[in-house]
Structures are given as C-alpha cells and as structure tokens.
Amino acid sequence: MLPEFFTSIVISTLESGICHGYVTDCKGHTLFDRGIKYCTGRCLVSKRDNIQNKNPYCPHMVVRMKNRTNEDQTISKVNKNGCFEVSGNTTSYKFAEIKCPEKLPGDCRDPTADDWRH
C-alpha cells in the first residue's frame, strides 16, 4: 500500500551556480516551488513531504549556465518517495535520482546580486 503522501528531496553538489528546483504534477501544474537558490557545494535545494500520492510527480531542475541561458531537466513520473541530486557545473550538469542520504545538508542560500553577475 502506498503512503498517503510522497517525500521529494533535492540536493545540490554543483561546483558553483544558481539553480531553481520545483515539482509539477507532470501535466504542467506546479505543486511547489522553492524558488531560485545559490546551489554551490553540498546543500539542500528543497524538501517536501506532502506530495499527494494520487498521481505521479515530476521534479524539475533549472540551472543558469555559463553562457547565461537557463537549462531545464525533468525526471518523469515519480510514483514513490525520492531523493534527487543536481551535480556538475555551469557548462554541464546532471539531474538524477539518488539513494537518500542518512543526514541532509543545510539549506542552499538565496542568491545575491553578486551571484547573478558571475
């Protein structure tokens, strides 16, 4: 039997960069959006433990690339508790499901104006 709610955890291990993680119902409707974060090093982008289990959910990750474009990657139709990691750098990154760590890192911080200039 499925739990009443799913948990979704997103961790960053980007070398440096700004990221934006959010979750949809896989049909374009946003379930939650943690906002834009400075995702340098190991930090927690988002944790949500109240995603209803009625339908699959889709974690999304947008990273601001070195050429100042935003690249979006999605993990399709997750139907369980999940942990996900954004890794790499601002020229090439990966967004994938991982084994959930025993201890979560601290929260990624909000970006400053200086972060946007780099």
Domain ranges for the chain, please list them.
Answer: 5-117
Look at residue 54 in the predicted model and tell me its pLDDT: 83
Residue 44 contacts residue 7 (beta carbons within 8 Å): no
Q: Is the four-CA dihedral 19, 11, 75, 93 of positive or negative sign?
A: positive
Residue 84 contacts residue 60 (beta carbons within 8 Å): no
pLDDT tens-digit readout, 82-99: 999 999 999 999 999 999
Cα–Cα dist 13/34, whole Å: 17
The pTM of the full predicted model, rounded to 2 decimals, is 0.90
Percent of the chain with pLDDT over 70: 92
pLDDT tens-digit readout, 2-19: 668 999 999 999 998 899
Structure confidence at residue 112 as a pLDDT band (50, 70, 90) = confident
User: Which value, to the nearest 10 degrees, does the dihedral of the CA atoms of residues 27, 49, 20, 89 take?
Assistant: -110
Burial (CB < 10 A; 0-12, 13-18, 19+), residue 108, is buried
Task: Provide the CATH topology of domain 5-117.
Answer: Immunoglobulin-like (2.60.40)
Look at residue 116 in the predicted model and tell me its pLDDT: 59
